[in-house]
Amino acid sequence: MVVFFRLALLALLLNSVAFHSQAEADFTIIYAAEMAEADHPVANYAQLATLLAQYRKTNTPTFFLFGGGSIGPSPLGFFDRGAHVIDILNALSPDAMSVSHRDFAYFSEELSQRAYEAAFPLVLSNLYDPMTEGNLDGLVNSILVQRGERKLGIIALVAPYVVQQYSLDRLQIQPAEQAVVRQARKLKAQGADVVVLMHTTEHDFLPGLLAEGVIQLAFRNNYDSQQLLPDQPEIILQQQLHQAVVVNVSLSTDHHISALNTRYVDLAQLSPDPAVTRQIQNHSNRLQLLLREPLGKSVVSFTTRRDEVRNRENAFANFVTDTLKNYTGAKLAFINSGTIRGVRDYPAGTILTRGDILAELPFRNTPVLLELSGQDLINIFEHGLTGLDNQRGFFLHSSGFTLQFDSRAAAGNRIVQLLVNGKPVVGERMYEVATLQYLADGGDGFAILNQRSKLNFFNPNDRNIADIVAAAIKNQQHITLQTDNRLQDVSQRSQP
C-alpha cells in the first residue's frame, strides 16, 4: 500500500511539473506524424485527441503541428486514397500539416484533392509545379498561424528523392536551404514570433540557420535513429511511432527562445477520445466485411519484416512475382521490395484474409508488360542492388531470373551473374517482362523503364496487384510459400 501511494504521488508530481512548465511557457507545440493506420490497435488518433484536449483546456496557447506521412499507404487508403485520414484530422484541428514523401503515395492529383478536403493548411516549401507556376494545387509554401497573441510561422521540406520514388516527373524539388530562407523572411515580415521547420531528412545547414535565427525550431521523425548532426535542443526528433512530442516554449522580450521544455508522450498510455474512436470505427466498419474475407491458408510460416524483404530473397515476394508473371503470361517478372509493406510474421496455418493482402500490398499498383533488352535487365537489377545500402525499397524481387550478387561490392558493380530461365542474359536480346505500373513509370529511379515499349497481354491490365494476389490465394486455397535461391548473395558464402 505504501509503495502504491508513493507511485501515485510520483505520477502526480510529474504531471504537475509538466503542466507547471506549460503554465510558465509562452506557448506549447504538440507534434505528431506518420499515423497512416488510423485504426491502429496500439495507439491512434483517438489517443492523440485526448492529449490535445488536455493542453487546449489550459490558458497557454497550444499549437498542433502534424508532420504528415499518413495519407498513404494503408489498407483503408487503398480504397479512398487517404480521405479518411483527412476526415479524422479535421476533427483534431491541426494548425498545419507538413507534406511528407509518403503523402504522395497515391500521386499528386490525389494529394491535391486531399488538400481541398482538409480544413487546415497542407504546407510544403520546396516544391514547384510548372503547371501552376507555383506549388502543387492546394498546397501552401508556408503559413502564419496565431493562437492568442502568439504567431507561429510554419515551413516544411520534402526530400528530393520523392520525385523518383513516386515518379512525379512533372514536379520539381527546389534547393532546401534557399526555400527555408525565402519563406522564413516572408513569415517574419508578417510578424511571426517563431519560425518552425518540419522535415523528414537531415540537413547539414540547419545548425547554421538556427544559430543565425533564420528559424528557431525544427521537428523531424527519426524512427531509424540515423542521426548525423550533433544533438541540439532546437532540433526536436520524434523517436518512435505512436509517440507525440510536447514542447513548451518561453520567449525573451526580443522574441528569442529563452527556454525549451520537451516531453515525449507515449500515446498508448492515454485513454482514447470516445468521439474520435467512433469516427475511426465508422470508417473501419465500411470495409471490415471485405477485409475479413478469408482467402486461403498458408501451409508454412513466412515473414514480411522489412529487413527480410529489402535485403534478401523472400518467400512472400516470390509468390507475388510468380503470380504477376502468371497473370500476364510473361516468362519473367520483377517488383520493387518497397511494394511489400506488411512488416509481419505469419505462423504456419495462418488463414490469410483480404485485409492481410491489402496490408502487404497497399499501393494501387497495376501490372504492365514491357519489352526490355538484356542490357536493360542488367542495368535494372544493378540499380535495384543499390537498395541494399539504405533499405529504401529499390531492391528487386523476381520470377524467372536467377541473380547472383555481391552485397559487399561497390554499388554499380554488384551483379556476379544474371540468368534468365536458367541461361545467361544476352545483352542484345529482347525479353518480355512483367512489372508494376509504378516501376514502368520510372518510380524508385528506374527511369529507363519509362522509355521502353509496353505490350498487351490477355488479362485486364487495370487490376491491382493486391487483387491479383488475393485471387491467386483464393484459387489455390492452400499455399506453400518458399524460397528457391533465385536471389543469391555470394558474399554470404565466405562468412563463418
Give yes or no for residue 462 having a pLDDT over 70: yes
Give yes or no for residue 20 having a pLDDT over 70: no
Domain ranges of the chain: 2-284, 292-494
pLDDT at 390: 81
pLDDT at 75: 78
Fold of 292-494: 5'-nucleotidase;  domain 2 (3.90.780)
pLDDT at 169: 78
CA 340 to CA 338: how far, in whole Å? 5
pLDDT digits (tens, 9 = 90+) for 314-365: 999 999 999 999 999 999 999 999 999 999 999 999 999 998 999 999 887 8
Counting residues of the chain whose pLDDT is more than 70, the rounded percentage is 93
Give yes or no for residue 280 having a pLDDT over 50: yes
As a whole number, the mean pLDDT across the chain is 90
Dihedrals phi, psi of 226, to nearest 5 degrees = -90, 85
pLDDT at 226: 59
Give yes or no for residue 496 having a pLDDT over 80: no
Nearest by Cα to 33 from 63, 62, 69: 69
Give yes or no for residue 173 having a pLDDT over 50: yes
Query: If pLDDT is split at 50, 70 and 90, which confidence band does 28 have?
Result: very high
Describe the crossing of helices 107-117 and 83-92 by its angle, rounded to 10 degrees: 30
Give yes or no for residue 277 having a pLDDT over 90: yes
pLDDT at 223: 57
DSSP-assigned states of every residue in 225-289:
----SPP-TTEEEE-STTEEEEEEEEE-TTS-EEEEEEEEEEGGGSPPPHHHHHHHHHHHHHHHH
Nearest by Cα to 433 from 359, 381, 480, 364: 381
Looking at per-residue pLDDT, the higher value among 431 and 459 belongs to: 431
Query: If pLDDT is split at 50, 70 and 90, which confidence band does 161 have?
Result: confident
Describe the crossing of helices 274-291 and 45-56 by its angle, rounded to 10 degrees: 170
Give yes or no for residue 5 having a pLDDT over 70: no
Q: What is the mean pLDDT of residues 434-452?
A: 93
Counting residues of the chain whose pLDDT is more than 90, the rounded percentage is 74
pTM of the model: 0.69
CA 489 to CA 496: how far, in whole Å? 14
pLDDT at 202: 85
CA 50 to CA 265: how far, in whole Å? 12
The secondary element (H helix, E strand) that includes residue 9 is: helix 2-24
Looking at per-residue pLDDT, the higher value among 107 and 428 belongs to: 428
Cell numbers representing residue 337 in the block: 521490395
CA 143 to CA 196: how far, in whole Å? 10
Fold of 2-284: Purple Acid Phosphatase; chain A, domain 2 (3.60.21)
Give yes or no for residue 205 having a pLDDT over 60: yes
- Which of the residue ranges 37-46, 377-386, 440-449, 452-461 would you say has the lowest mean pLDDT? 452-461
Query: If pLDDT is split at 50, 70 and 90, which confidence band does 494 have?
Result: low
pLDDT digits (tens, 9 = 90+) for 371-423: 999 999 999 999 999 988 888 789 999 999 999 999 999 999 999 999 999 99
Alpha helices in 336-450, H assignment, sequence order: 354-360, 374-385, 437-440
CA 211 to CA 209: how far, in whole Å? 5
pLDDT digits (tens, 9 = 90+) for 222-262: 655 556 666 788 999 888 888 999 999 999 988 789 999 99
Give yes or no for residue 15 having a pLDDT over 70: no
